[in-house]
A and B are shown apart, each in its own frame.
Chain A
Amino acid sequence: MLRHTFKTLIIAILLVGTAQAELKIEITQGAGSRTPVAVVPFAWVGTSPGMPLDIAEVIGADLTRSGRFAPIPEGDMLQKPTAGADLDFDDWSILGVEAVVIGRVEQTGANAYTVQFQLFDVFRRRQLVGYRMPASRGTMRRVAHRTADMIYEKLTGIKGVFGTKVAYVTVEEQRDGKLYKLVVADQDGENEHTIMESADPIMSPAWSPDSRRLAYVSFEGSKSSVFVQTLRTGNRQRVSSKPGINGAPAFSPDGRKLVLTLGGIDGNLDIHILDISTKKTKRLTTHRAIDTEGSWSPDGRFIYFTSDRSGGPQIYRVAVDGGTPQRITFEGSYNARPRLSPDGTRLAMVHNDRGNFRIAIMNVERRDLLILSVGRQDESPSFAPNSDTLIYATRQGRNGVLESVSADGLIRQRLASGQVDVREPVWSPFPRF
């Protein structure tokens, strides 16, 4: 009895000893920037020789473009399973791949398909997510983006934005002058649609919260007016064309109002709120200075705007109900075009960084400024709906091109740049399915 107790005691002491001797190692950063994954080509079950769209390729391109993933080349794959049961996890862990996407496309009718995919965790050896979705030739690309969104969310913990769109303005030189176009495209640049074109400048596109309408400024007739255009029908409505400047529209979170800038005959630019259905306007600022570029806080309570009432342009905010504007930015001589992240935590702006105009974001609570871009003439920052990435315009030679940058500044990507001058990108809200 005594000896038994003694033994127990000694074992207990040994255990405690082991726990203390255990090596403790702190990991204070993740040096890897891209998660290695594999997107195996999907199986095709159908009558035609190939599937209407290479889904795996679209998914791989989405993941790559996000800057957070490094899909391995098809040639490196030791196996190309298309069913979960065929997956050999060891084969993938040898390659250092953390997750594998497999799937198949099956034709079920003349223009009817079923797309299914599964995402597997290589080290835990289990499925992370799997779905089967109906598709047609017309919707197949959207289905591929949705698939990429689900994969992205599982692996990064934040919502994917592959199913979103971007609106922007292009300018082309033509024989008899310039041609301005307002374009809407998938966020990967596919499916470009010109929704409006004009020989006069088009400016400041803004998405409605339901992604169905765009507000913008058009100078047709050499006069600025604000229009709201419904994308599906192409119908547009001139919502503001008062004497002087009509500019800088932005939708309220409920989609019923616009904040905009009106200049009047005397050219004193001030922030106004326009009720889209009643056309009634309410003036929010009265200062002699330039007050412009208003945008709503996501909770709908404040308007953030640019004002040079202190000399140079700085960012202020004013309650939607009115009141005295409060200055928000103090760092630097030039801060303009405020845009709050959809989660309300960060404020993006154009900031003059020692002579270069760059995109910066400020943490709304801590007030610290982080410069995200490296160009000389960067402008029009716009948050992705997941608040994690921004899109903006920069210069490449004489042309404007689009870039995206993660809100932590670590991942910057130049988006496909054509020969046209591209400017003023605005990221759509999440699509509503």
Chain B
Amino acid sequence: MTRDSYNVVPISLALLLHALMFAAIVVGFDFSVAARPLGPLAIKATLVAESAVTPPPVEEQRPEPEPLPAEPEPDLDELKRIAAEEEKRRRDTLIEQQRLEKIRLQEAERKRLDEEAETERKRAEAERVRQEDVKRQREENERRRRQQEALELQDEIAAEDERLQSISSGEREAYIFAIQQRVTRSWVKPASAQPGLECDVRVQQLPGGRVVSVIILSCNGDEAVRRSIEAAVFKASPLPEPSNLNIFDRNLMLVFKPEQ
């Protein structure tokens, strides 16, 4: 498999990963929770609130309209008249009363409606505020998550730095030098080795330094050169151990490149 075709896989996978992360953020937190536990307090609170994101069912308290009273009947002549007047007065009063009542009712209704509108307005406002809160909280969550990730990445980098630093402060060089010396001593460069010889060799070792495999990756030398290199590495087994076990690597890359 060539190097070029090899790259296609990681690149497309990386692209896919980005797409997936974006999708995860947009679609919801369930997945991201699973993938990465989120931080404390605010975030948790938001998560609880999140389940109430759907607006609570507000009761529409719209009362049934009240039934209006029935119409009174008229009297004979005087009686009829009185009665009629009485009736008329009573009726007027009643009408007046009814009118007043109607007005009162209308007033009440208007007031009620006003109140209702006010309530509705307040509720809408509250909802808007809450929605904004949610949105803010989401953004905050996202920000914290990012921050958290950045922190973790920083920690990782710091840890790697530390590892590398502990190594590069001499131990790594010492380890490389020890292996170099050992292999150099055991290598008899064959007479056929030409100036410009360069052979890349992958060596697998076990903890303790025992060489388990020697694979010549690329080499411009002849068969005698290849044989001598394999023999040199095997003769050097077990390879020296590092003073700091962090440095130990099962896989070594040896480059045979004699100076001419």
State the A residues within 8 Å of B (CB). Answer: 2, 5-6, 8-9, 12-13, 16, 18-19, 21-35, 68, 93, 96, 98, 121-124, 128, 154-158, 388, 406
Contact = CB atoms under 8 A, between A and B. Distances in A.
B180 A155 contact: no
Interface string B164-183: 00000000100110011001
Contacts of A388: 191
B223 interface: yes
A393 B75 CA distance: 169
B187 A31 contact: yes
26 contacts: A2-B31, A9-B14, A13-B10, A23-B179, A23-B251, A23-B253, A24-B253, A24-B254, A25-B179, A26-B180, A26-B257, A27-B255, A30-B184, A30-B187, A30-B189, A35-B188, A35-B228, A35-B231, A122-B231, A123-B234, A123-B235, A124-B227, A155-B228, A156-B191, A156-B192, A158-B192
B93 to A, nearest CB: 80
Given A31-B184, A157-B222, A157-B225, A9 B255 contact: no
Contacts of A30: 184, 187-189, 228, 232, 258
A27 B183 contact: yes
B16 A9 contact: yes
A131 B172 CA distance: 48
B10 A156 contact: no
Contacts of A19: 251
A24 B255 contact: yes
Interface in B113-161: none
Interface centre among B9, B188, B223, B224 (most CB of A within 10 A): B188
Nearest to B231: A98
A112 B137 CA distance: 101
Interface in B31-45: 31, 35
Interface residues of B, number: 47
B190 A157 contact: yes
Given A6-B17, A32-B186, A157-B191, A27 B251 contact: no
Contact of B224 (A8, A123, A157): A157
Contacts of A35: 188, 190, 228, 231
A9 B258 contact: no
A156 B252 contact: no
Contacts, number: 134
Nearest to B16: A5
B249 A21 contact: yes
A16 B10 contact: yes
A23 B175 contact: yes
A397 B86 CA distance: 172
Contacts of B253: 22-25
A122 to B, nearest CB: 7
B255 A157 contact: no
Given A25-B255, A29-B259, A35-B190, 11 more contacts: A5-B13, A21-B249, A23-B251, A27-B232, A28-B184, A29-B184, A29-B187, A30-B258, A35-B188, A98-B227, A388-B191
Contacts of B222: 157
Contacts of B225: 157
A31 B191 contact: no
A155 B172 CA distance: 34
Nearest to A69: B188
Contacts of B251: 18-19, 22-23
B255 A123 contact: no
B230 interface: yes
Contacts of A154: 224
A63 to B, nearest CB: 12
B192 A34 contact: no
B29 interface: no
A32 B13 CA distance: 48
Interface centre among A2, A24, A33, A156 (most CB of B within 10 A): A156
A18 B63 CA distance: 74
A9 B9 CA distance: 9
B20 A5 contact: yes
A96 B235 contact: yes
B231 A123 contact: yes
Nearest to B247: A23
Nearest to B202: A22
A44 to B, nearest CB: 30
A158 B193 CA distance: 10
B256 A27 contact: yes
Nearest 7 CB-CB pairings of A with B? A157-B192, A157-B224, A30-B189, A30-B187, A32-B188, A98-B231, A123-B234
A388 B224 CA distance: 15
Contacts of B35: 6
Given A18-B251, A24-B253, A31-B184, A2 B20 contact: yes
A65 to B, nearest CB: 15
